[in-house]
Amino acid sequence: MIDSHFHLLSMEKKGLDITSIIQDMDALGMEGIEIGLDADDLGPRSERFKAYPSIHLSAGIGPWGVKDGMPPIGKQLAELESQLSRNKVVGIGEIGLDNHHAYGTRQSQTELMHAQLELARQYNKPVIFHNREADDQFLALLGDHFFPQQGIFHCFQGSQELAALAIKRGFFISFAGNLTYGANKVLQNLFASLPLDHLLLETDSPYLSPNPLRGKPNTPLHIEHLYRFAADVRGMEAEALIEAVRANFHRFLAQ
Residue 102 pLDDT? 82
pLDDT exceeds cutoff 90 at 80:
yes
Residue 255 pLDDT? 82
Q: Would the CA dihedral through 52, 58, 59, 60 be positive or negative?
A: negative
pLDDT digits (tens, 9 = 90+) for 141-157: 999 988 989 999 999 99
pLDDT digits (tens, 9 = 90+) for 159-212: 999 999 999 999 999 999 999 999 999 999 999 999 999 999 999 999 999 999
Mean local confidence (pLDDT), 50-69: 97
Work out the pLDDT band at 3, boundaries 50, 70, 90: very high
Angle, helices 42-49/73-84, rounded to nearest 10 degrees: 30
Work out the pLDDT band at 246, boundaries 50, 70, 90: very high
| Rounded Cα–Cα distance for residues 225 and 69 (Å) | 38
pTM: 0.97
> How many structural domains does the chain have?
1
Give which of 95, 156, 157 is closest to 126, Cα–Cα: 95
pLDDT digits (tens, 9 = 90+) for 25-37: 999 999 999 999 9
Q: If residue 218 lies in a helix (H) or strand (E), which one and from where to where?
A: none
Residue 242 sits in a domain of what CATH number? Answer: 3.20.20.140
Quick check: 253 and 245 in contact, CB under 8 A?
no
| Rounded Cα–Cα distance for residues 244 and 248 (Å) | 6
| Rounded Cα–Cα distance for residues 249 and 30 (Å) | 12
The string of DSSP codes covering 134-191 is -HHHHHHHHHH---TT-EEE-S----HHHHHHHHHTT-EEEE-GGGGSTT-HHHHHHH
Report how far Cα 128 is from the mean position of its chain's Cα atoms: 6
Residue span of the structural domain in which 134 resides: 2-253
Give which of 191, 146, 150, 141 is closest to 170, Cα–Cα: 150
Give which of 82, 41, 37, 91 is closest to 62, Cα–Cα: 37
Quick check: 212 and 225 in contact, CB under 8 A?
yes
CB within 8 Å of 180: residues ≥ 6 apart:
210, 211, 214, 225, 226, 229
Quick check: 49 and 26 in contact, CB under 8 A?
no
pLDDT digits (tens, 9 = 90+) for 103-135: 999 999 999 999 999 999 999 999 999 999 999
